Amino acid sequence: MRGAEPALTVISGEPFKRRRNWQAIITVVILLVVGFLVVLPMVFLVEESLNTGDPMAFPPQEYGIRNYLAIFEEDINVLWNTLIIAVMATVMAILIGFTLAWILSRTNVPGRAMLERLMELPYYMTPLVGALAWAVIAGPKSGFANQLWKGVGGGGDLVDVYTHFGIAWVMALFEGTVAFVMISASMKSMDPALEESARVMGASKLRTMLTVTLPLVMPGVLGATLFVFAEMLGSFAAALVIGIPGRIYVITTAIWDSTLAYPPDYGRASAMGLALFVVMFGMLTFYRRVIARGSFATITGKAFRPRPMDMGRLAWLFFAFCMLYILLAVVLPIGALLLTSLQRFATVILSQAQFTFANYQTALALGPVRTALVNSLMLGFGVASVGVLVMTILVWIIYRSQLTGRGSIEYLVMFPQAVPRLVFGLALLWAWINIPISIYGTLWLMALAYFTVMLPLGVRTLAGVVLQIDKSLEECARVCGAGWVYQMRTVTLPLLKPGILAAWLLIFMACVRELGASVFLMGPNSKVIAPSIVNAFATSGTELTAAMALIQTFTVIVALVILFRLTRGMTRELT
């Protein structure tokens, strides 16, 4: 492949020269744009975090580290909350993930294929919807669980979700499936013969699991723990919906809160955001180390035919565990929201219920809500369509060209993954307030932000497909006389089609549910759906909020159904 050494000149065929340069031109343009989008906001953020003068002044008049010191002096309880909740949530998520992974990859649980499919569902339910639903289910007094408790004569509240544990519980439920995917990947790459030889030597099933399975999958579990913990530190939705009414602030909600103050304390918010970013970046780097070391002989890259252990009657117990998880993470939340959204005043005592479609009518007729939904759909279509095209070229450059420094391009593109959405939104906000191009408060800025934060998701999905395509399919086109553009059009892009469609839908879904970056960038004329749902929860009744959340979920489900249709049999990566 060419383009490796730009200094080389073509000696034959002058007329071909323009065709040859396309690759270089497109590469340079895309790199400049991506570099600008990814790096620049972070530069602004660093500068603002060191601003100790007037927080709204740009460039800052005074520099210092007072904003950082303030975190420890004034917000130490926020740090404690963050840590406690993240640890609790991680422990629960890993327990859920490990148990599910072991059941589904190592035992003969009935209906395994169906269960494995179901386990993907919580991932597509957003944490925001989950948090709203659990507020409806387990809120004090009016929560469904407490209504029932009072109905059977119980005194006080049975459960209260507005606590540290409540926040952690909701986060764990929806991050549990990520842990499940990561841990089952490491279990599936383990040679079953390793377990079988333990059985042959006379070990019981439990002993085999404790002495062979567990130690062998430990690196995988550790990797998942680090990853999930990093996600927990940066998670926003549950802490926003449940934490703020309960007056429990974690770092992400504290960042948001300090920008709502008057005047907004962007310096303080930036310092907290950067501190969070540094910690998360450290965790993710450590995670990569753990994964890269791979350890032991289990991870050979070879897929083994799973030979599950016969669990006898216990298998039904495991089946019940899996179904319980789906019940808590999907069925109960959706059911509660559905019930709420169909009533004038939400109650679980059906004899008192007044059923109505009014909430849906309001949601769809209410100007701001409808605009927000339409905006989100438009952004989803636009960002997914343009984004996929750009990302495909990026992926091709990273994994197929011999361009020098393509490793650093990969790093650049994957960088937004290490930045919490919320922090990235803040960085973009500050950058575009001060860049003299007036797109702040418009959908254009939202589109740029979405594209940037979706880069890792899209690139990873597409890379999985690009790497599956034998390189010689492309080389053969060149040998047959095709130039780069012709080869991309006739061979590479058609072969990538399923992957491109999958990436399009994943990005579309992610855009429709986007919350973290949106809360900062949404202007009065550029409302999108997820932050609007949060606003509705804070200002209007839960009934309307539930209807809006379900409309959003329904949109995602439609996209999801299409995705499954298109990619049946295609391996999908969650993490």
Binding site for another protein (CB under 8 A): 1-2, 4-5, 7-13, 16, 20, 402, 470, 472-473, 475-483, 486, 490-491, 494-495, 497
Q: Which residue lies nearer to another protein by CB, 7 or 350?
A: 7
Contact 192/307 with Cβ under 8 angstroms?
Answer: yes
Cα–Cα distance measured from residue 68 to residue 564, given in angstroms and rounded to the nearest whole number? 46
Cα–Cα distance measured from residue 344 to residue 361, given in angstroms and rounded to the nearest whole number? 12
Shortest approach of another protein to residue 468 CB, angstroms?
11
CB half-sphere exposure, 544, CA atoms < 13 A: 18
Tokens coding 85: 């909740």
Residues 6+ apart with CB under 8 A from 232: 85, 86, 89, 90, 93, 171, 175
Shortest approach of another protein to residue 567 CB, angstroms?
16
Shortest approach of another protein to residue 473 CB, angstroms?
5
Q: Give the N- to C-terminal CA distance of the chain in Å, as an integer.
A: 32
Q: Which residue lies nearer to another protein by CB, 278 or 485?
A: 485
For residue 351, give the DSSP letter.
G
Q: Which residue lies nearer to another protein by CB, 13 or 436?
A: 13
Shortest approach of another protein to residue 480 CB, angstroms?
4
Angle at 344 (CA atoms; ends 341, 349), nearest 5 degrees: 85
Q: Which residue lies nearer to another protein by CB, 3 or 456?
A: 3
241-255 in b/e form (b: 16+ CB < 10 A) is: bbbbebebbbbbbbb
Tokens coding 204: 């019981």
CB half-sphere exposure, 110, CA atoms < 13 A: 9
Shortest approach of another protein to residue 487 CB, angstroms?
8
Shortest approach of another protein to residue 343 CB, angstroms?
52
Q: Which residue lies nearer to another protein by CB, 289 or 497?
A: 497
Q: Which residue lies nearer to another protein by CB, 464 or 483?
A: 483
Cα–Cα distance measured from residue 94 to residue 479, given in angstroms and rounded to the nearest whole number? 51
Q: Which residue lies nearer to another protein by CB, 485 or 574?
A: 485
Shortest approach of another protein to residue 481 CB, angstroms?
4
Q: Which residue lies nearer to another protein by CB, 207 or 497?
A: 497
Length of the chain: 575
Cα–Cα distance measured from residue 134 to residue 160, given in angstroms and rounded to the nearest whole number? 10
Cα–Cα distance measured from residue 329 to residue 515, given in angstroms and rounded to the nearest whole number? 20
Q: Which residue lies nearer to another protein by CB, 35 or 494?
A: 494
Contact 232/90 with Cβ under 8 angstroms?
Answer: yes
Shortest approach of another protein to residue 395 CB, angstroms?
18
Q: What is the DSSP string of 284-330?
A: HHHHHHHHHH--TTT--SPPPPP-PBP-TTHHHHHHHHHHHHHIIII
Q: Which residue lies nearer to another protein by CB, 352 or 490?
A: 490
Amino acid, res. 16? F
Shortest approach of another protein to residue 336 CB, angstroms?
46
Cα–Cα distance measured from residue 531 to residue 533, given in angstroms and rounded to the nearest whole number? 5
